[in-house]
A = this chain, B = another copy of it.
């Protein structure tokens, strides 16, 4: 990658971090980038804020996920921007600026794996590592027109990755091409990617109804293809409580965990955040014990409901995001409302610990919007195999 390319799309950090892939591996010839939450031995992890970088020593070890890709032959081209300590869903970073969405000019790229999505969508690398706690791979995949996956919680080792909310944090990646997406997946999952077809697709009516008018239409053809490929199709309401109730539980659990993760550092160093991220932390800290207990109690119930739709090789289909990428430059109050709506859809898989893959199969007025499949825990390679088949 030339220095000129490295500056395009404001995708990469200024850290000059490159790793050469092992010779002769299955990913030889492919390049990737890693979100600046992944440790690279000898380099400082930035985490999207200069104060994190400046208050931590260089990493002693390289994150396993990066090491797996390099061992498989892929070249790491650099580190990519992220929302501050991964606490954002739109990719707007007040310290380093917002990476450009090459697929939707004038609009946010999505986050927090914003630079990874920009680098891939802009053709600077073949694929990129992100992380997904509350939607941070799926959302930029949807907004930038990419394949992206949130893996089964705990499936891909997350050592050496700056954590946020450990019971939600997962590894994910993004690619333009389903075949390359699958090759990267084989290395990261340490598994073959099978040809696979779900026996049943459950179309999540409440999730589609929650999306903007037009999203269902934009995804109709893809949904039809998907349903045709699968064994059978059904419609269902996922949450009889209401998806907004599940969203609240996600907000409470993730917010509490994120505060616990960063509290000591914040207390010791008074780091600078954009106001919105500081507010998110305080909101997370301030949930009551009663709200926390309600959310803890609800999570296994939600998991059982989601599991019931995924039994016997079923998948759930839903819009990845309720709208395509929002315009840049909006107020925080406007973006806060939009953020709540996005996370209402991404919270489902996060609460249940299931994998979810976003397929770049929808367009509204020229803007990408993703169709998502949620699969059973541990079915990551099946979902990827199905995506490859649909693209083939």
Contact = CB atoms under 8 A, between A and B. Distances in A.
Contact of A275 (B276, B278, B332): B278
Q: Is the interface of A mostly helix, strand, loop or mixed?
A: helix
B268 A278 contact: no
A255 to B, nearest CB: 14
A94 B331 contact: no
A272 interface: yes
Contacts of A214: none
Interface string A260-280: 000000111011111110110
Contact of A273 (B267, B268, B272): B272
A95 interface: yes
A275 B281 contact: yes
Instruction: For chain A, give the interface size range.
Output: 20 to 34
Contacts of A94: 51, 270-272
Q: How many copies does the complex hold?
A: 2
A123 to B, nearest CB: 30
A47 to B, nearest CB: 15
A220 interface: no
Interface in A77-120: 92, 94-95
A266 B95 contact: no
A19 to B, nearest CB: 32
Contacts of A275: 266, 270-273, 278, 281
A2 interface: no
Interface in A266-309: 266-268, 270-276, 278-279, 281-282
13 contacts: A94-B271, A95-B272, A267-B331, A267-B333, A270-B274, A270-B276, A270-B332, A273-B273, A273-B275, A273-B278, A275-B278, A278-B279, A278-B282
